[in-house]
Structure 1
Amino acid sequence: MTNQKTIDIVKSTAPVLKSHGEQITRVFYEELFKHHPELKNMFNMTHQATGNQPKVLAMTIIKYAEHIDQLDMLTDTVNVIVQKHSSLDVRPEMYPIVGKYLLEAIKTVLGDMATAEILGAWEEAYQLLAQLFIGKEEKVYQDNEHKPGGFRGFADFQLINKVKESETITSLYFKPANDTPIPSHLPGQYVAISLDIPGEDHIHTRNYSLSDISNGEHLRLSVKRESCSPAGKVSNYLHDNLKVGDKVKMGMPSGDFVLQKSEHPVLLIAGGVGITPLLPMYKSLLGTGRKTVLIQCTPNSTTLPFQHEIKALDDPNHQHVIGFSNPLSSDIIDGTNVFEGFLTRSIIAEYIPSAESEVYYCGPKKFMQLVTQLLDDIGVPEKSRFFEFFGPADELRTEEHAQ
């Protein structure tokens, strides 16, 4: 642990960081990529363009400043970052580079406020945090290497099948190109894919949820086509250009959005492509005796993926409920397992198995905000909520809740 003087100085900078944090992280990323353009290969540059990544980093830095003397309060945040870093093969030698440009960004943005004492304290604090991450990530890498089919970093995987699931979602089936065993994974986890797209100045890396349970036969990713640029660059390439037999670089399954070890009933709430991490959870709970309800929200039947796959699952403890926000005239609304309109408090209250239920949810940002508000309204405790969301969790309550 660092000394008390450093702790006091870093904690004292938290209010300033709240005012200037995003400006600091924007400058940081600009300088980082200017001097080390090869690092673009590891980042989702769409999140840079939209400002999401600078915002996430700023919130993380602020939390660290506030709790540098209570790191146990940051355990969940640290674990999420460790999983993300290990999926991308972040290495120890990258941390000094990041530290250099982060401190320079602090100095640039804060000017005279960034005294030598403050910069010295933050350099020490950064080293402490870097060593924390390096240690935890090395543990993940070693664990991965010892798993059947496991490896460190990225490995070549070959596309063996493509299946259209809906108008917008296509499933991609992969196996290791060297015929080694399929890496196992937990329901809800994701993998990183790196693509060398012709005409692009850097490799594009994205994380996609694994949309099927671990089966030893393949890894399945189900990708939604994003029509807007630059967000759609990778998804469009996967839909239109990646062919059976082609190879991609893929990381080990990662992520801690997984089922808790308990016997509580489960409510799964999916918005659009947010079904991808939740479907494996739904499948893995078959035959366990745990009451499980899956609410799947989508505009209509043309955008509803996996409907035949889910219908084929038979378990008296499982219930699949569909919500069509803009149904076709041919879509049958029976009011029991299919409802029309957006998700409401009364719908969740009707289908949540019990007051002790765990709730897992995933989907677009506005959908996540809506679900968060509805769970607040019916009093689902925070400890019973689990979700996958790129961005500061605080954002799920800071904007108007709408779907």
Structure 2
Amino acid sequence: MFIKALNQFSKLFLHHQSFAAYIEPIMQVFKPAWRAGFFSAKVIAVSPCSHDFLSVTLKPSKQWRSHIAGQHISLTVEVNGRLLTRVFTLASSPDYFKATGLVRLLIKTSSLGQFTGQLQQALSLQPRCNISPARGDFVFKSWHKPSVFVAGGSGITPMLAMLEQQLGNTNSPMQLLYFAKADAHQCTNELTALAKSFAHFSFSLLTRDALTPLTQHINLDAQPDIYCCGPGGFMQQIADFANQHRLGYFQESFGLALPKLTEDSQFSVKINKDTHVVTSSDVLLSQFEAKKLPVQRGCGIGICHQCQCIKKSGVVRNLKTNQLSDTGEQLIQLCVSQAVSDLELQL
């Protein structure tokens, strides 16, 4: 109760999400790796995989609680003197963590990426990083009926954790449809071992064909629940199919869906002494980065709060909750905020 009251005080009067975040700069004088709301994790192994994937094994501190298979964490590392945060789904099960004290991430990297492009080198140079508590509700719920997992590319990560955790808890048929570029499928040895150990599990390694429906391998007679993770357009096709046939459907997306107001809406944003023009067709963070304004990027989907700032006046829409802010002074997160009126911000 005391911590809750302290955090409420911090939001109202100190313009920070929590009191711990407010004192973070002071704590880092004594413990440079300390971050509010995060846990220290020891870097155990960093191994490149085929087709630009990276396997990262971490040992979280004893204070970190376990996760539910399918959940994600925020990973924070120091890159070129800056703390950068991105969100990744855990590719290992809670049973694995309980037995070893370790968690695994399977990350698709890009040489052009500000974060993933430098991740292997950054983790090789620093013995520890920071992780958040596990979050998310993309978890298995279908113990008593058939289920089909549909993964696209790096969308295989939550499926690996859920299959590893739940195959021993159900006798209902479980099928994995794994779409990736030719020869780019990950962890195929693990999937083969699971199929040999559990007769009610099968998997198919598939490539996308514009002439062939993604859903052709789903047996409608079984009326399965569908779990899907992949790019937005990929998941939309699976969701439409599930809705059409009244199947249970659960999904985990890689990013934030951005509803538009009107394409031509433009607003002025006063930041300190300067005024900038933004549109309602994108979030504020992306537009500020394009203008090279002094903003800090974290996860980019409204979880880590690194991009928060003070809105002095005006109205924004929070795209995670679809709620409008009030017109007065308020903390906002730039990565999920869409301008609805002229604004005054303090960065």
TM-score over 0.5 for the pair: yes
Say if 2:231 is the partner of 1:364: yes
Q: Give 1:199 shift.
A: 4.3
Structure 1 residue corresponding to 2:145, chosen from 259, 264, 287: 264
Q: Give 1:182 shift.
A: 6.4
Structure-1 separation of matches of 2:68 and 2:111: 30
Structure-1 separation of matches of 2:155 and 2:47: 18
* Distance verdict in 2 for CA 1:312–1:367, change over 3 Å: same
- Runs of 5+ unmatched residues, structure 2: 1-6, 19-35, 261-347
Say if 2:163 is the partner of 1:297: no
Higher strand share: 2
Structure 2 residue corresponding to 1:306, chosen from 181, 184, 187: 187
Q: Which residue of 2 aligns with 1:143?
A: none
* Distance verdict in 2 for CA 1:278–1:97, change over 3 Å: farther
* Distance verdict in 2 for CA 1:251–1:286, change over 3 Å: same
Q: Give 1:165 shift.
A: 3.2
- 2:78–2:122 Cα contact (<8 Å) kept: no
Q: Give 1:253 shift.
A: 1.4
Q: Which residue of 1 aligns with 2:246?
A: 380
Q: Which residue of 2 aligns with 1:318?
A: 201
Q: Give 1:392 shift.
A: 3.5
What RMSD, in angstroms, separates the aligned Cα atoms of the two structures? 3.1
Higher helix share: 1
Q: Which residue of 2 aligns with 1:219?
A: 103
TM-score with structure 2 length normalisation? 0.59
- 1:267–1:294 Cα contact (<8 Å) kept: yes
Structure-1 separation of matches of 2:65 and 2:110: 28
SS of residue in 2 equivalent to 1:259: coil
Q: Which residue of 1 aligns with 2:283?
A: none
* Distance verdict in 2 for CA 1:342–1:221, change over 3 Å: farther
Query: Which amino acid is the alignment partner of residue 365 of structure 1?
Result: G
Q: Which residue of 1 aligns with 2:269?
A: none
Aligned residue runs from structure 1 range 33-72, under 5 A: none
Q: Give 1:155 shift.
A: 1.4
Q: Give 1:236 shift.
A: 1.6
SS of residue in 1 equivalent to 2:79: coil
Q: Which residue of 2 aligns with 1:44?
A: none
- 1:265–1:353 Cα contact (<8 Å) kept: no
Structure-2 separation of matches of 1:385 and 1:343: 24
* Distance verdict in 2 for CA 1:197–1:350, change over 3 Å: closer
CA deviations 1:32-85 (Å, max 9, x no partner) are xxxxxxxxxxxxxxxxxxxxxxxxxxxxxxxxxxxxxxxxxxxxxxxxxxxxxx
Say if 2:78 is the partner of 1:196: yes
Q: Give 1:240 shift.
A: 3.0
Q: Give 1:250 shift.
A: 0.9
Q: Which residue of 1 aligns with 2:165?
A: 284
SS of residue in 1 equivalent to 2:190: helix
Q: Give 1:160 shift.
A: 0.4
- 1:291–1:317 Cα contact (<8 Å) kept: yes
* Distance verdict in 2 for CA 1:319–1:184, change over 3 Å: same
Q: Give 1:363 shift.
A: 0.8
Say if 2:183 is the partner of 1:183: no
Structure-2 separation of matches of 1:97 and 1:305: 49
Identity %: 24
- 2:46–2:123 Cα contact (<8 Å) kept: no
Q: Give 1:161 shift.
A: 1.2
Q: Give 1:212 shift.
A: 1.1
- 1:293–1:352 Cα contact (<8 Å) kept: no
Say if 2:127 is the partner of 1:246: yes
Q: Give 1:190 shift.
A: 0.8
Structure-1 separation of matches of 2:90 and 2:63: 17
How many residues align? The count is 230
Query: Which amino acid is the alignment partner of residue 277 of structure 1?
Result: P
- Runs of 5+ unmatched residues, structure 1: 1-90, 101-129, 135-151, 326-340, 396-403
Aligned residue runs from structure 1 range 94-105, under 5 A: 95-96=11-12
